Structure 1
Amino acid sequence: MSQYNEQSKQPKILIVDDDPVNADMLKYALAKENKVEIASTGKEALATCFRSPVPDLIILDIQLPDFDGFEIITELKASEETKHIPVMFVTAREGADDQVKGLELGAMDYIIKPYVLPIVVARVRNQLALKQKNDLLERLVSMDGLTEIPNRRFFEQMLDREWRRGMRMLQPLSIIMMDIDHFKAFNDNYGHRQGDNVLIAVARCIDSCVHRGADLVARYGGEEFVALLSDTKIQSACQLAEGIREKVESLAISHEYSSASSVVTISCGVATLTPSRGIMVDELINAADKQLYCAKNSGRNTVCS
């Protein structure tokens, strides 16, 4: 699961400046501790920001050849995908008006040209540290306390974001709904503590099967899990679902009270839609849920799509 930047990974900084000398100077100063990308136009900057993974910080020149920085930050703050990215403005103007306007639009700080690089590095480091704390708080409220994977709340947020991305890019979006077979019987006979251990083991197993950065595994509720797969066609989603089903079965957790197998297994329902204005996001969830019931009615421990 990759919707959070891990502490072991370098933060991603986007420098937006049409002056290559200034951009390279900032990149040289910041690249030791961060992954740095450069965009020379507003259009290029927005394209980068709406491509996963999004930047952890944007250093944005106010004056650009196509858009000004105020237009760019306004568009960023209007989108759920990008509104939380901290923005530091770059300006050569000494007046307070531009700085006040930028701060009112949501900028976190200003960098004044000509650069004093040690000050720039320190300010960037402070902004990244603040973002890391905010990300941690967001992660805590978005995680399932037992399995330590994202919860339904976070899944629904990401589903809305990926739906809008799919609509914009005309890309298919797939969902795998998964349910542990005869979990109530497991709880009733082995006890809730063992049931919790099964939920944790299955969650980790499912999560380990999903490797792409933009994809997400979450606990949907009870013994039900869901995988959200961006830009994924039905064939690929079915292959992944079958791989997950096989890997859960290979855990070989004894379940003598299941009619599907002698070990813990899961049933999977897969659905794919290409988002458009004529389709509601609930239709994708309902389609995957319908296929999950199909899998259960087909004897469980299987994949239906």
Structure 2
Amino acid sequence: MEGYRILCVDDDINMLNTIEDILINTGYSVSLAKSGKQALDFIRKGIGYQLVLLDVDMPDMDGYETFREIRSLEQGRGVPIIFLTAMDGADFEIKGFEYGAADYITKPFVKSVFLARVKNRISTPLRQKDIQTDNYRKLAGKLTDLELKVSEYIAEGLSNQEIAEKTNYSYGYIKRVVSGILEKTEMEKRSDIRQFLKGE
């Protein structure tokens, strides 16, 4: 994964060091921030991250506030953000996705699953920075990061089961995500999403 840079934000130094070791040994470049403020300083410098791993429970500026501030910066608008937290209740996860998070990973995590989900968020076949079509931008304005990613996979011809396997979600959950995409975009079927993104 040479060339991919990830920003990790957590007030727990031990957790930061653990994540750094895992990611560097996998070939990623990593920046570490001990607070939301420090994370914002990194992003303002224009380093160009492909992913942000963001803890929720932090002093002064929590993960949700940090998320909003990152999205308010021009350099941070298109960067996928994954909440990485020990807060594992369904309400917290739902809140994370409502904010527009690309994913929500709870600590402690299984290393192999963690790496699979990280890889999935930065190496999907369609990326906004690579595919600059009007239709893609219109869709990106309506959907969360996860919904947009599922739309990308649909455009590539993947079934719900294949998408579930790639994203490490259940088939039922992906089916609900697809239904939500259709409802938000006022489309009738999966093929409409494919045609819209492919410009067919």
* TM-score, length of structure 2 as denominator length: 0.62
Q: Deviations over 1:27-78 (max 9, x none)?
A: 1111132100100011101101111122110000001122100001111222
Q: Does 1:108 align with 2:102?
A: yes
Match of 1:56 among 50, 53, 57: 50
- Return the letter of the residue paired with 1:19: D
Within the candidate set 42, 49, 59, 1:65 is matched to 59
> Contact between 1:17 and 1:64, CA under 8 Å: does it hold in 2?
yes
Matches within 5 A, 1:1-305: 10-31=3-24, 32-130=26-124, 133-138=127-132
Deviation at 1:79, TM superposition (A): 2.8
Residue type of the partner of 2:22? A
Q: Partner residue of 2:161?
A: none
Larger Rg: 1 or 2? 1
Q: Stretches of 4+ moved more than 4 A in 1?
A: none
Residue 136 of structure 1 and its aligned partner are, at CA, apart by 1.3
Shift of 1:105: 1.1
Per-residue CA deviations over 1:72-106 (Å, capped at 9, x if unaligned) read 11112223321111000011122111111111111
| Pairwise CA distance, 1:132 | 6.4
Give distance in 2, aligned partners of 1:37 and 1:78. Answer: 20
- Partners of 2:105 and 2:43 lie apart in 1 by 20
C-alpha distance in structure 1 between counterparts of 2:12 and 2:45, whole Å = 23
Question: Cα deviations across residues 232-269 of structure 1 (Å, max 9, x unaligned)?
Answer: xxxxxxxxxxxxxxxxxxxxxxxxxxxxxxxxxxxxxx
* Unmatched segments (≥5 aa) in structure 1: 1-7, 142-305
Aligned length: 133
Normalised by the length of structure 1, the TM-score is 0.41
CA contact (8 A) 1:88 1:107 kept: yes
Higher helix content, 1 or 2? 2
Distance of 1:72 and 1:65 partners within structure 2: 11
Q: CA RMSD in A?
A: 1.9
- Cα distance in 1 for residues equivalent to 2:125 and 2:66: 20
Q: What secondary structure is seen at the aligned counterpart in 2 of 1:30? A: helix
Residue 165 of structure 1 aligns with which residue?
none
**Percent pairwise identity:** 34
